[in-house]
Structure 1
Amino acid sequence: MRKLREINIAREHRTLGGMLRLKAELNGDKIFLKFLDRQYSYRDMHEISNRLARSLQASGIEKGQHVAFMMDNKPELLFLYFAVAKIGGVCVPVNTAAKGELYTYYLTQSDSTFLISDSGLVERFLTVQDQCPDIKRMVIVDDGRPVSAEVRKGLRLEIEEYEALLSAPADDLPNDIVQNSDLAFLLYTSGTTGPSKGNMEPHDMMVSGSISHAEYFGYTPDDVLYTCLPLFHGNALNTCALPALFADATLVVSPRFSASKFWEEVREYGVTQFNLLGAMANILWAQPESPLDRDNKARLCMMVPVPDFAREFEKRYDLKITSVYALTDFGGVTFLSPEHPPSKWKSAGQLRHSMTVAILDDDDYPMPPGVPGEICVRCDEPWTTALGYYKKPEATIESRRNLWFHTGDRGYLDENGFLYFVDRKKDAIRRRGENISSYEVEQIILHHPAVEDVAAYAVQSEMSEDEVMVSVECKKGHSLTFEELIRHCADNMAYFMVPRYVEFVPNLPRTMTEKVEKYKLKQSAQERLHEIWDREASGIIVNRHTN
């Protein structure tokens, strides 16, 4: 695959701290980061993180020590990531929705000994500190919600204030503290089918993957990249924030996703590129059309996966859709760039350099072009993919059996080597001998003008086999009957895909990255299946002869 731009960085500079130093020397006072009414230059980023790094060193953080973060989007989070990386610490971002047992699991499974927390989330730690005796120190970052005297009194660890850390000198740290092969981050997957796994990501994985984004998508110093996804998540960090830095561009960070404010922010900041993950594309597409839709400077929008309405989305907002196939558990694999043929718009693109992909059956034998199987990948370049799951050797070995990383995704390659995502293996539905893609069911239902979003998944019927169920969220001001939805499905999909069970819900449960939590829906539905609308019980028969 041809790159739109070449960014050549010597191996000794391929660390997060080394890259920031290079970019600060190159770009100086050019604005790198904008957040609400604040902005920071490339030089600011480097000098602030130097000050923080020196203070954290003085506080006892050593190379290889694990530092947990409980912080929402703000500039201080990026400053601190770079600071910890510069002294060889390992960043452990924690989903800020975590609490109780889940919060305890993240802190203890990661072997974190140092915690950096928003002031408004400090009380969250107070409730679990007895289960986390290895956390010895805490830095509190003021987020406008003060920590009460009662909470402070209850904390049995050493406390420092973020502002105090800024008093250290801004001098550069030695170049030889960190190597490109050293661990930079433990990024935890969602853990919807079991305990979350900490993915060990070395510096060069994050550097090389981010450089590839800038190269294959042609990001330039004139670009303004925007993210409203949480920076504790790999998408915001590895496909937006770091690519913006390595492309000499400007990064805009928003506190969170808001459908009503999204396009206002895109226009206000002159955004030229943004990412839409999970249901975000569906939510924006469902908004009423406006004369302002094309009033923006955006030229690229990365969608994962690419929905059926992507071409209409391009026309409505006057931009181009790009995509990737990438995993926190492994790294970036493919890129769908603006240079690719329009006929390939539904694909995830072609392979990134040094990557190999195979479509394998359940016994790890290859499938022919066009036939779905499990997407399995390899990399020929050292230190540019995840190193495995932290303290989970069995899971690491199993995921990499026969020298292939098994993604758990189903897809296929076409005759030109373009990769097409079909479904998560665990989300695939097998009904009466037919394999059904929940993603395809969802895409068809999303075409109905009354539907805001939908989740399709398998439930077990009285015959102990999979049946298709959908949970549907309607647009505000719209209504839909069960019969109307089934008629739409029967007219637009194979008869065996038409849902048997249907429920309408006010809101689908979502993660902070706008992914629908299907496991919650499935568990709830299975427990009350006899109460849910059943197409067959209602006498609606759909078969291959149905008109």
Structure 2
Amino acid sequence: MRLYALEDRTIGRILADKARTVGDRTFLTYLGDRFTYADVHAVTNSYAEGFRRAGIERGDHVALMLPNRPEMLWALWGLGKLGAVAVPINTAAKGDLLGYLLDQSDSVLLVAEDGYRDRVDPVVAQVPAVREVMGPDRLAAFAALPPADPPEMADVRYDDPHLIMYTSGTTGPSKGVVSPHSQGHGVGLRMASLSGYGPDDVLYTCLPLFHGNALWYTVYAALWADAAVALSPAFSARRFWDEIRESGATVFNALGAMANIIWQQPPSPRDREHRVRTAMMVPSSRELAETWRERYGIGVTSVYAMTENTAVTVFGPDDPPEKASSAGRVRDYMDVQIVDDERRPLPPGEVGEICIRPNERGSIMLGYYEMAEATVAATRDLWFHTGDRGRLDEDGYLYFADRKKEAIRRRGENISAFEVETVLCRHPDVVEAAAVPVPSELGEDEVMAYVVPAPGAEVDYAALVGFCAEHMAYYMVPRYVEAVPELPKTPSEKIEKYKLAVSARERLGELWDREKAGVTVRRP
């Protein structure tokens, strides 16, 4: 793998070098279309010229509301070559949220799919800074413009803003994370090197390009490995394995319930008829890794990361299988510290807030856009405070527990909602789960579990509680259970647990209660 100095980690310089050194290699495939590394450099130069002719200058903010297709990448990188800042917008955004994202980001242009215009036009009318809404036809026409390197490309620095990507906003207004050019390249370097990606790999993604996982952990990882990206328009459980086989994929990433949805598909004689050797899954577990290897012959990797930072820890294919429930080991490019509520460091094995400090410049965000107080609050004592809780073991492997604001405390015991959910999702009748705290008659909390049934399944609450009692500590077993068709989520697919908790508190007497049902969970 070719290494690039920090000063060269801009999208313009790296694409130019790739075109020169591996230009004939395939970089991207999409619905039968193929683009080489040389093609990508040329077309993104043309897109830079197109944006220039549209009046975009260095430092301007341009919002992109496009589905998964090559033009989304061409626009992101064409803007990057100009020194302009791309603002990827979740394609589900509408109404007040869409207006907030456009206004808060100070975007001067919005590129939007024609099918979104019924949502976009009324909102843009209320955001004076947006001078124009550009449709996909005009955007695609940029490809016919001269493909010469834009003059600005040589002056763009690694620490110049490249993207503003918005957090999920589960605890307040969405924050715009200002990412320098070097941040995504740092992710690409770490994922390619620690996951063992190489020129013969094909990294498949059906996750949205407006999200950091698809963009950085697949596309940038492939870019650094001289590998290829197989881009799918969207996730389809029915089409998933066919797309994997047709693309020749050797690697894919799965987020949230995606791995469980795939697993719930009926076993097939073709389960091992593919080229995939590893799949990065977040969250992961030792049980998940074992079952995927047994059924599909696929090794499971994982990562701990946020939009604000980088691949903080990586569980790679060479890490010990017994550590598969972790998010990987702390490496020399990052310091990780676990602290209590008083910000005092905790020893290995104890759960507290995960704090990070990079040992390489340019690997985390520049700050939250126009939110100085939030930026300062997140970076106290020279550490970035993630708001997540976890623990480190004696070998330096990081284990995620939950969001700090989602912790459940029952009868003196701190309970990880994440660990409860992991067990619930192992039940064959459950495809997705969320655990939230509800009030207890004895003070502190009781555990409430929402579950989404697998297709065609009907959840037996008593049997599910029995399954939990068999696979988790007695004090973690949910008291209340409710099956729901879907979980409420933010546009970036984060579960809105506060809505679930409020709903449960308001209906506590109506919910299935294992104590009222006479289901006993015994202490060991």
Is the TM-score greater than 0.5?
yes
Identify the residue that residue 147 of structure 2 maps to in structure 1: 170
Deviates more, 1:168-177 or 1:239-248: 168-177
Identify the residue that residue 158 of structure 1 maps to in structure 2: none
Q: Is the 8 A contact 1:7 1:211 kept in 2?
A: no
**Counterpart of 2:3 in structure 1: which amino acid?**
N
Structure 1 position 280 matched with structure 2 position 247: no
Identify the residue that residue 459 of structure 2 maps to in structure 1: 480
Structure 1 position 74 matched with structure 2 position 53: no
After TM superposition, the structure 1 = structure 2 runs for residues 245-284 of structure 1, keeping only pairs within 5 Å, are 245-284=223-262
Q: Which structure 1 residue ranges, 5 or more long, are not aligned?
A: 1-5, 143-160
1:501 Cα deviation after fit = 1.2
The separation in 2 between residues aligned to 1:517 and 1:318, in whole angstroms, is 34
The separation in 2 between residues aligned to 1:270 and 1:134, in whole angstroms, is 44
1:532 Cα deviation after fit = 1.6
1:512 Cα deviation after fit = 6.2
Q: Is the 8 A contact 1:413 1:420 kept in 2?
A: yes
Of 375, 379, 385 in structure 2, the residue corresponding to residue 406 of structure 1 is 385
Identify the residue that residue 376 of structure 1 maps to in structure 2: 355
Structure 1 position 22 matched with structure 2 position 17: yes
The separation in 1 between residues aligned to 2:335 and 2:112, in whole angstroms, is 40
Q: Secondary structure at the match of 2:135?
A: strand
The separation in 2 between residues aligned to 1:286 and 1:121, in whole angstroms, is 32
After TM superposition, the structure 1 = structure 2 runs for residues 169-318 of structure 1, keeping only pairs within 5 Å, are 169-174=146-151, 175-307=153-285, 308-318=287-297
Q: Is the 8 A contact 1:25 1:43 kept in 2?
A: yes
1:448 Cα deviation after fit = 2.3
Deviates more, 1:335-344 or 1:230-239: 335-344
1:463 Cα deviation after fit = 6.0
Report the TM-score, using the length of structure 2 for normalisation.
Answer: 0.96
**Counterpart of 2:135 in structure 1: which amino acid?**
I
1:515 Cα deviation after fit = 4.4
Deviates more, 1:108-117 or 1:487-496: 487-496
1:473-532 CA deviation, whole Å, 9 max, x = no partner? 222233232222222222332222121111112233455665444333333333323322
Identify the residue that residue 97 of structure 1 maps to in structure 2: 92
Of 376, 384, 396 in structure 2, the residue corresponding to residue 417 of structure 1 is 396
- Note closer, same or farther for the CA distance 1:389–1:30 as it changes in structure 2 (3 Å cut): same
**Counterpart of 1:115 in structure 2: which amino acid?**
L
The separation in 1 between residues aligned to 2:172 and 2:475, in whole angstroms, is 30
The separation in 2 between residues aligned to 1:538 and 1:474, in whole angstroms, is 21
Number of aligned positions between the proteins: 522
Q: Secondary structure at the match of 2:305?
A: strand
The separation in 2 between residues aligned to 1:333 and 1:452, in whole angstroms, is 28
Q: Secondary structure at the match of 2:515?
A: coil
1:544 Cα deviation after fit = 2.2
Identify the residue that residue 112 of structure 2 maps to in structure 1: 117
1:38-61 CA deviation, whole Å, 9 max, x = no partner? 221111111111111012112211
Identify the residue that residue 416 of structure 2 maps to in structure 1: 437
Q: Secondary structure at the match of 1:73?
A: coil
Identify the residue that residue 147 of structure 1 maps to in structure 2: none
Report the TM-score, using the length of structure 1 for normalisation.
Answer: 0.92
RMSD: 1.7
1:78 Cα deviation after fit = 0.5
Q: Which structure 2 residue ranges, 5 or more long, are not aligned?
A: none
1:273-305 CA deviation, whole Å, 9 max, x = no partner? 000111111211222211111111001110112
After TM superposition, the structure 1 = structure 2 runs for residues 29-44 of structure 1, keeping only pairs within 5 Å, are 29-44=24-39
Identify the residue that residue 125 of structure 2 maps to in structure 1: 130
The separation in 2 between residues aligned to 1:462 and 1:192, in whole angstroms, is 28
The separation in 2 between residues aligned to 1:333 and 1:539, in whole angstroms, is 45
After TM superposition, the structure 1 = structure 2 runs for residues 482-521 of structure 1, keeping only pairs within 5 Å, are 482-510=461-489, 515-521=494-500
1:101-157 CA deviation, whole Å, 9 max, x = no partner? 000010011111111111111222211123210000222114xxxxxxxxxxxxxxx
**Moved runs in structure 1, 4+ residues, more than 6 A?**
none
